[in-house]
Amino acid sequence: MILLISGPSGAGKSTVYHELMRREPQLGFSVSTTTRPPRAGEQDGVDYHFVDMARFTDLLAEDAFLEWAEVHGQRYGTRREHVAAMEAAGRIPLLDIDVQGGVQVLDSCGAEIVSVFLFPPSWEALEARLRGRGTDSAEAVATRLKNARWEVGFAERYDYWVVNDEVDSAVLRLQAILLAESCRRERFSTPPLD
């Protein structure tokens, strides 16, 4: 199983998955590789692997990415080897990636993917969260809001829709999704009784 979470920037993906991971230690966060410069407080190798454009291009040439996309003018990608290492260690990879990457993963990994689109409760709440986060310039907030209108058009591709009105209840709903998915018949390699 791979847990894929997408949603507009500011919807609360990072807030929600940090709490989800605290409660569900079998999840492993897939640390993406990006050309975006680190924000204050972000750590290389923890939040992202921060690289320059030349390194990203080399990785592309090596077919190192399970998916990649250009988002808000920067490149982001998921390394195949990072996902494979988590799976080999028996963990469920959690991918926080944009809709373009989400569609690539849904098309290439199909049945393995449990896909969740995280919505903010309203456009007003999204704008307030982006401004309140204080990490993006007014111009960047405007770009992210404009892109959000386009991103929600991809929500139809995702199996589950979760509205992040309140963190605790959004996380609870994600836990319920994981629990139900773990009981799917297809996830058993053999029946519990032979």
Interaction site with ligand 5GP (CB under 6 A): 9, 32, 36, 67-69, 71-72, 76-78, 96-98, 100-101
Distances (CA, A) of 41 to 4, 38, 84: 25, 8, 28
Among 82, 129, 148, 152, binds ligand ADP (CB under 6 A): 129
Q: What angle do CA 153, 181, 116 make, to 5 degrees?
A: 20
CB contact at 8 A, 1 and 181: yes
Cα–Cα distance measured from residue 179 to residue 77, given in angstroms and rounded to the nearest whole number: 28
User: Nearer Cβ to ligand ADP, position 14 or 175?
Assistant: 14
User: Nearer Cβ to ligand 5GP, position 37 or 192?
Assistant: 37
Cα–Cα distance measured from residue 28 to residue 185, given in angstroms and rounded to the nearest whole number: 23
Q: How far is the CB of 165 from ligand ADP (least distance, A)?
A: 6
User: Nearer Cβ to ligand 5GP, position 51 or 69?
Assistant: 69
Binding mask 145-174 for ligand ADP (x = CB under 6 A): -------------------x-xx-------
Q: How far is the CB of 53 from ligand ADP (least distance, A)?
A: 23
Q: How far is the CB of 106 from ligand ADP (least distance, A)?
A: 19
Cα–Cα distance measured from residue 86 to residue 76, given in angstroms and rounded to the nearest whole number: 19
Among 2, 3, 6, 10, binds ligand ADP (CB under 6 A): 10
Tokens of 112: 């393995």
- Non-local CB neighbours of 168 within 8 Å, separated by 6+ positions: 19
**Element holding 128 (H helix, E strand):** helix 123-133
User: Nearer Cβ to ligand 5GP, position 97 or 126?
Assistant: 97
Cα–Cα distance measured from residue 153 to residue 161, given in angstroms and rounded to the nearest whole number: 13
Among 2, 4, 6, 12, binds ligand ADP (CB under 6 A): 12
Catalog residues that contact ligand ADP under the rule CB under 6 A. 7, 9-15, 129, 132-133, 164, 166-167
